[in-house]
Amino acid sequence: MLMIHYNNTFYPIDLLSKLIFRITGSPRMTFSVLFFSIILTATLKVERLLMDLTVIIPVLNEEKTLKEIISRVKATNLASEILVVDDGSTDGTKEILKGYASDPLVRVITSEKNEGKGAAVRKGIQHARCEYAIIQDADLEYDPNCYPKLIKPIEDGVADVVYGSRFLGGARRPILFWNMVANRLLTFLTNILYNNILSDMETGYKLFKVSMIRDIPLHAHSFDFEPEFTAKVLKRGFRLYEVPIEFTPRYYTEGKKIKARDGFIAVWTLIKYRFID
């Protein structure tokens, strides 16, 4: 049975057509009203999906993947703004970014020195022009085709912050066992300290309302951004939602930057922000 969806309610087209025909008495008018109702419903659905979204891309020496990730983000047709924050790259990244100077969708912020991923993301949050923002790594590990999954809980009104979890059954490249173990342990510690049941605290995919996060004092400079962000979101009682995503991790020989010591820093960060802000 064909249905029209409006205001979270489904209406059968055959019943609507009978009602409209009874009111108008004209088959042609009935068809016209139904046709435009379907078009309007589809338009409203697309407008809800196309939220005012900034995609924050922190980059450091990503000349091999930068063009591709920007292309993939554009292909989703979901970004109102692509904000690339170059964190002091020394390869060809800066030259590539100059090529987007006339691109109305891409905006670039540059740092003369490397301050760390956390600093780059914080800078992106402060400069984002849209109502919502999502963090997108430039290394192609996270697939922008997952954006609709992350958007839906906010669209449905059940979340303030959405995490894309790598451990909820989505397709993934099965490598780096000890990295997975470290992620699970850090998430377990997060759940103990903050009384939650997260599956992936360290995920890079975080979608949020910009104004809510700007009110949080964030201090991270490096990979401690993930635990600090999560700790402070949970302490404030924000509605956090997880959705499964596809994930294609890369080897260290392919440019992966996180190190073992970052795990110990994450532990300290989680414990510290349980008691201070």
Residue 197 burial (CB count, 10 A): 8
Paired residues of 108 in beta bridges: 84
Give the DSSP H/E element, type plus range, for residue 105: none
pLDDT at 45: 45
CA distance 164 to 3: 31
Q: Does domain 50-275 have CATH number 1.10.8.50?
A: no
Lowest mean pLDDT among 75-79, 89-93, 235-239, 254-258: 254-258
9-12 and 3-6: which strand pairing?
antiparallel
Put simply, whether the predicted model's pTM sits higher than 0.85 gets the answer: no
Write down the domain spans for the chain.
Answer: 3-48, 50-275
Whether 114 contacts 65, CB under 8 Å: no
Task: Give 14-60 pLDDT, tens digit per residue.
Answer: 555 666 657 777 776 656 655 655 554 444 444 444 679 999 999 99
Residues 6+ apart with CB under 8 A from 69: 57, 62, 136, 137, 138, 139, 140, 144
Task: Give 120-168 pLDDT, tens digit per residue.
Answer: 999 999 999 999 999 999 999 999 999 999 999 999 999 999 999 999 9
